[in-house]
Amino acid sequence: MLIKLITNSIDDQEHFRCVLIMNSDSSATLTFFQILEFKSLNLLSINLKLGDSDEINKHVAFKYKLISYNLQRSRAKLEEVCSILKSKNPSLITQINKAAMIS
C-alpha cells in the first residue's frame, strides 16, 4: 500500500500529494493526500523520528561500500571486454576511441 501511495504521488501529481512536515524536536510527519474535485482526503499519516546517528552512519557506509564494490566489478568487466576486443578486433577499439574524441 505504501509503495502504491508513493508511486501515485510521483506519477499523478494532480490527484495525489505527499507532504513531509519537519518538527523542531527531530520528528516529522509524512502525509499522503488524494485530491478530489471539491475536497482533499487524508489517506495515510506516518509519524517519523530521527534515528541514532551511529546507526545512520553504519547504513550510509554500508551502501557506499556496496556501490563502490559494484563499480569496481563493472570496471573490471569493462576492462575484460576491452581486452577481448583488442585481441579479436583492434581496429574496433581505435574507431570507438576516435568516435569518443569527436563527441
Return d(Cα 99, Cα 103) in angstroms, integer.
Answer: 6
In the predicted structure, residue 89 carries a pLDDT above the cut 80: no
pLDDT category at 61 given cuts 50, 70, 90 is: very high
Q: Which three cell numbers stand for residue 28?
A: 516529522
- The verdict on pTM exceeding 0.85 is no
Q: Residue 17 in contact with residue 5, Cβ under 8 Å?
A: no
Tell which residue, 76, 79, 103, has the closest CA to residue 93. 79
Mean pLDDT for 23-30 is 91
Mean pLDDT for 78-87 is 84
pLDDT category at 101 given cuts 50, 70, 90 is: low
Return d(Cα 8, Cα 41) in angstroms, integer.
Answer: 14
